[in-house]
Structures are given as structure tokens and as C-alpha cells.
Amino acid sequence: MKDELIKFFQKIKNSELIQTLGETQAKSGIIEPILRMLGWDTSIMSDEVTLEFPVEDGRID
């Protein structure tokens, strides 16, 4: 897992696209893959991660 994370972070660091990503692209292309590499279940049926968690004034990422 450690090597996989290091390679992924290097890929992000070297990417020129990183500064142009929107919120949805960053979430699906960076945040969710990192969570999966760390062993979290990011599937829609997961009880570990809730994407866009609803709160009174909107949603929390």
C-alpha cells in the first residue's frame, strides 16, 4: 500500500492538470482513490464513507 500511495502522490505532484481540477474531478480522481488505497470502502452502499453527507444547510463532502 505504501508504494502505491507514493506512486499516486508523485503522479499528482507531477501533473499539470491538478490546478485545473474542479471539485467533482478532485473528489473522484484524487480523494476517493486515496481513501480506497487506505482501505476505506467508498462505494455508494458503504457505511464507512458517505459522499455528499446531508446536513441542515446543505451537504458536506
Q: Convert the pLDDT of each residue in 17-43 to its tens digit.
A: 888 989 889 888 999 999 999 999 888
CA atoms within 13 A on the CB side of 41: 6
Q: 10 Å Cβ neighbour count for 43?
A: 11
Mean pLDDT of 1-24: 90
In a domain, 14, yes or no: no
**How sure is the predictor about 58, in pLDDT bands with cuts at 50, 70 and 90?**
confident
Q: Residue 55 forms beta bridges with which residues?
A: 58
Structural domain range at position 45: 2-9+21-60
**What does the pLDDT read at residue 52?**
77
How many domains in the chain? 1
- End-to-end CA gap in the chain: 24
In a domain, 53, yes or no: yes
